[in-house]
């Protein structure tokens, strides 16, 4: 694995769109793009973890200037090779701390990407970084699942979410540390291939506190991009935090951040 690309190396990037094909369906993408375009208004959008452009490309096609921050050069190269890829600027780096040029009316993280930051400090830094990129009145949007700990009986640490003759996938949880991992086993020509990705799960209330530390306030929370009500049974949420008008930066001189 190429350390520079983190867990999304060339071998993963090459098959990413195929492995996540369900997330590229119009009925999944269009509601997200509609909501983000509305929040962007006449301004620009910044995607943290832009990947291969699943959301960035159709958002740019709607006339919204889009920039992305992406750690994996392999994933960014896939974006650039797609039609319209040259319209989306990409800054290579860790989206928890990397600065992109310009000011934005919306920054966003989709498809559980906030969990790719595997420490609480990094997730707090991410909120501060989002706030620092936002114009006053701008919004930070996060799409992420609600931890499914209710599915764990005593003594069990794994929850399967895909079972087929050629593919098995399951999440593992450590309820003491909030560490988790998603694990994929794929059978190709009779041989099993395994890929594991570490995460840190995070609760909606914890995200709200991170937002407050960054000077943001909760504006909306829905179960999904179509703005269904968020309830105690929801397995995910789309949350929108707003930067108050007149606030110029998400950082203060005394705010701790990683180098």
Per-residue pLDDT reduced to its tens digit, 174-215: 999 999 999 999 898 889 988 899 999 999 999 999 999 999
Q: What is the pLDDT of residues 43-95, one digit of tens each?
A: 999 999 999 999 999 999 999 999 999 999 999 999 999 999 999 999 999 99
> Residue 48 has what pLDDT?
98
The side-by-side arrangement of strands in the sheet containing 167-174 is 158-163, 167-174, 179-188, 191-200
Q: Which residues contact 178 (CB under 8 A, 6 or more apart)?
A: 120, 147, 200, 201, 202
Q: What is the pLDDT of residues 18-51, one digit of tens each?
A: 877 788 999 999 999 999 999 999 999 999 999 9
Q: What is the pLDDT of residues 85-131, one digit of tens each?
A: 999 999 999 999 999 999 999 999 999 999 999 999 999 999 999 99
β partners of residue 221: 239
> Residue 213 has what pLDDT?
98
- Across 165-178, average pLDDT: 94
> Residue 11 has what pLDDT?
74
Between CA 240 and CA 205 the distance in angstroms is: 13
> Residue 247 has what pLDDT?
52
Between CA 175 and CA 11 the distance in angstroms is: 31
Whether pLDDT at 7 is above 70: no
> Residue 16 has what pLDDT?
78
pLDDT confidence of 255, banded at 50, 70, 90? very low
Whether pLDDT at 171 is above 80: yes
DSSP strand pairing (217-222 vs 104-109)? unpaired
> Residue 12 has what pLDDT?
74
Between CA 208 and CA 74 the distance in angstroms is: 32
Whether pLDDT at 10 is above 90: no
Between CA 20 and CA 34 the distance in angstroms is: 21
Whether pLDDT at 250 is above 50: no
Question: Which residue, among 58, 54, 51, 94, has the nearest Cα to 75 in the 3D structure?
Answer: 51
Between CA 258 and CA 139 the distance in angstroms is: 23
Whether pLDDT at 251 is above 70: no
Tell me the two tokens of residue 184: 């994929």
Q: Which residues contact 240 (CB under 8 A, 6 or more apart)?
A: 39, 139, 140, 141, 218, 219, 220, 221
Q: Are 142 and 236 in contact (CB under 8 A)?
A: no
Whether pLDDT at 146 is above 90: yes
pLDDT confidence of 5, banded at 50, 70, 90? low
> Residue 133 has what pLDDT?
98
> Residue 13 has what pLDDT?
76
DSSP SS3 for 228: coil
Tell me how many degrees the CA angle 128-130-136 measures, rounded to the nearest 5: 100
pLDDT confidence of 156, banded at 50, 70, 90? very high
């Amino acid at each position: 694995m190429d350390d520079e690309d983190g867990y999304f190396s060339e071998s993963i990037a090459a098959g990413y769109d195929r492995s996540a094909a369900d997330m590229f369906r119009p009925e999944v993408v269009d509601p997200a793009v509609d909501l983000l375009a509305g929040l962007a208004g006449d301004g620009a959008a910044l995607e943290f973890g832009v990947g291969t452009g699943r959301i960035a490309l159709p958002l740019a096609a709607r006339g919204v200037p889009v920039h992305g921050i992406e750690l994996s050069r392999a994933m960014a190269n896939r974006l650039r090779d797609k039609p319209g890829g040259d319209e989306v600027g990409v800054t290579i780096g860790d989206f928890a701390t990397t600065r992109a040029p310009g000011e934005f009316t919306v920054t966003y993280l989709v498809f559980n990407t906030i969990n790719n930051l595997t420490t609480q400090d990094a997730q707090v830094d991410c909120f501060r970084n989002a706030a620092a990129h936002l114009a006053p009145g701008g919004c930070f949007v996060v799409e992420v699942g609600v931890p499914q700990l209710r599915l764990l009986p005593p003594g069990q640490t794994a929850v399967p979410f895909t079972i087929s003759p050629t593919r098995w996938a399951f999440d593992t949880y450590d309820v003491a540390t909030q560490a988790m991992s998603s694990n994929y086993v794929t059978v190709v020509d009779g041989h099993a291939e395994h890929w594991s990705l570490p995460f840190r799960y995070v609760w909606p209330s914890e995200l709200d506190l991170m937002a407050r530390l960054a000077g943001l306030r909760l504006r909306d929370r829905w179960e999904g991009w179509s703005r269904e009500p968020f309830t105690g049974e929801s397995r995910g949420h789309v949350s929108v935090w707003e930067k108050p008008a007149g606030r110029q930066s998400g950082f203060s001189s005394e705010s701790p951040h990683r180098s």
